[in-house]
Structure formats: structure tokens, C-alpha cells
Amino acid sequence: MSFSWWFSKKIALGKNTKNNLSSIIIRIGQIAVALGLIVSLITISTGVGARIAIKEKLADFNGHITIKNYNSNTSLNSDSISINQKFYPKFKEVPEIVHVQAIANKSGVIRTKENFSGVVFKGVGTDYDTVRFHKFLVKGHFPKINNDSIMNDVVLSKKIADEMKLDVDSSFVMYFVQDDSTPIYRRFKISGLYKTDIKNFDDVIMLGDLKHVQRLNRWDSTTIGGFELFVNDVENIDPVAKRVNDLLPYNLTSESATSSFAQINDWITIFDKNIMIIVFIMLFVVVINMVMVLLILILERTHSIGILKAFGATNWRIRKLFINYALFIMLPGLIAGNVIGLGLLFIQKYFGIIKLPPENYYLSTAPVYLDVGSIILLNVGALLVCAIVLLLPSYMISKITPAKAINFR
């Protein structure tokens, strides 16, 4: 153990530090460190958690990457492509792709005695990942789609169902308009209700058997509207989408979920900026408090500095001693900040006490993402930044002369 660390530890834990005026300043510094760490932990965990949660909702409901006809129209109806592609049912050339499923969209109107609503019928097949969708279900179950027969069961959003005064096991008629303006109607039965808190989905999407869309469009069983691909890491969607696009034939194109919902994605990126700003402000407050603490400690220990210099201690060694002293004082604040901050985050993670307005945040509960690496980096970063910044105020030690310091009272 170095002399500077041993001596700073000795004076930090010494009894004479407990009953003087500097103890109040030290306590204020420790509280500032604890509060700064608590706010930073909560900001990082909830900010990153919200970003990941919204991305997962967008991607899991609508596919991480979508493949469609290169000349797809801008309407809500899908253009036709063949299901016989070399990347289906498995995209072997891109190992990050964990699942591929076929889909097709057809717009129509739900009509009841009291109301009507325009929706998009999203047809899915037996390859649809119902496990991934299950987290959106709030009531009922997903239709049991099979290859042998056509299913009339559908999953409707809870928002549309409430507006249309429908519920699980209710039946309704939906009208579709063909290219020749001929109306066709189909009767469906609700097997389940879903909720994503994302307006783009909850306002318009209804899920059911892909064979309905194929019949309405007069397609055969090998014709679909597109593919939805899922990757193993939602944070890695864009680079994988670019690789997928490079491997597709000329008549197909791919689009990532972040590109499909660019406006929402741009809103999500604001989280990162807010996180950086808040963490910077908290770190600035902590540094200012620790600088104040160090200056007070130097003034209080002027007599001791003079004695150390008289015994031959160099300015740099004494400066290190006081920087170590200040960092040693930070430790209780860091420990308290971690305990309180992580405690609050665990409570929110498992009990969801803090609620959010979904119409503004696309989430009904404040999410929490805990990453051990980020927590360690935040703690170590706070110590390192303070250690570097404290070099400047510690410079005043070199201005203290032994003769005057020893006589200082």
C-alpha cells in the first residue's frame, strides 16, 4: 500500500474528522455524489429501456426486416410475389436471421349496426411466430391456422374492438373492394384481442388466415404479399437489413423496422441525447462538489501540509494524498447511490409502479434495462473524471510554504 493512499485513508477515517466543520461539507459532497449517481442510473436504465422496448414492439409486431416487391405500391394492400424464394423458409446466408414468415395485407372496412372502421387485414400462415406475438395479447388466443382449411377466426386490436363494441367470440362482417370496384364481404369471429400501445398498429391492424387474402386477390397458394424476417438482436437490425438487401434478387427489396417507422425511430433517438445531457449535468454537479470538498480539506489541513513538507514530502506526493482523500470520501456516496438507485430500478422492473401515457410514449409502464457493464462504467467513470479534475485545485498545495503552514492556525 502506497504512503499517499494509507495516509489519506487514515485521516479520512480518523476521529478528528468527525467533529469539525469540514464534516458538514464532506457530508454534502457525499450526498451530491449519491444523488448524482441515482439520477444517472435511473436516466440510463429507463432511457435505454424505453428505446429497446419501443424498438422491440415495432419489430416484433411488424417484423424486424420486411421483404416485398421492389415496385410495391404505396397503398396498404400488398403486391404479389412468389413464396418460392431461396431464403425461405430459412435465410441461411445471413446467420443473424432467426425466423422468416410469409404475410399479405388487404385493406377493408368492418361494419356493425352502430359503427364502421377501416382496417388492414394482415394474413399470416402456419409459419407465423405466435410466441413472439403472445406478449401483445390481452384477451383470448391466437387463431389456430392450418394448411387444410381456411380459418375465419381473427385477432383484433382492443382499441378497435372497444370502438366497435366487440369482444372475444363476437362476429362481424368486413367489406373488401376489388380492383374492379366490386365489393366482397366476409364474416369473421374474434378469437383474441391485442394491444401494443402503438397507434400505427392498434388503429388499423387485424390478423387472420393468409388464405383469405389469397382468395380475395385470386392468388394461388404459392403467392403472397411479402416476408417478415427476425434477427437475433433488435439493436442490430439496420446492418443486417443492408446485408439482406444485397442478397435479394432485383425484383425484391428489404426495409428495416427503423426505416419503416422513421418518425418513431427519430423520436427514440432523442432518448440518447437526453441521457447524455442529464449524465453530463449530474457529473458536473458531482465534480463541482468534490472540488469544493478538496479545497476545504486543503485549507483545514494546511498545518499538516507544512509538517509533511518539512519532513521532505514532495508537492506531487501531497497532492496525490489529498486527491486520494477526496476519492475515499466519495466511496460512501457511490455505495449509497448504487444501493438506492438499483433498489428503485428493481422495484420498477418487477412491480411497474410508474405508469406512462401510451399515446405519448408508446409504452404503458416505464421500462427498465439493467446492464452490469454500464453500471460499472458509470461508477469507474465518475471516479476517474473526479480524479483528473481534482488535479487542478490540488495545485494550490505547491503554493504552501512549510514555515507559514506550520504556524497556520
Question: What local confidence, expressed as pLDDT, does residue 407 receive?
Answer: 57
In the prediction, which pLDDT does 23 show?
Answer: 73
Residue 2: the pLDDT is 60
pLDDT of res. 182: 78
For residue range 117-148, list pLDDT tens digits in order: 889 999 999 999 999 999 999 999 999 999 88
**pLDDT at 6 (0 to 100):** 60
Q: Which residues of the chain have pLDDT under 50?
A: 17-19, 403, 405
Cis peptide before 89 (omega within 30 of 0): yes
Query: Residue 18's pLDDT is what?
Result: 47
Q: Can you give the residue ranges of every domain in the chain?
A: 3-57+265-406, 71-249
Smallest Cα–Cα separation from 48: which of 229, 294, 270?
Answer: 270
Largest CA distance in the chain: 103
Give how far Cα 123 sits from Cα of 82, 226, 249, Å. Answer: 15, 10, 24
Strand intervals (E) in 218-362: 223-224, 226-231, 252-256
pLDDT at 271: 77
Residues 124 and 116: beta-carbon distance below 8 Å: no
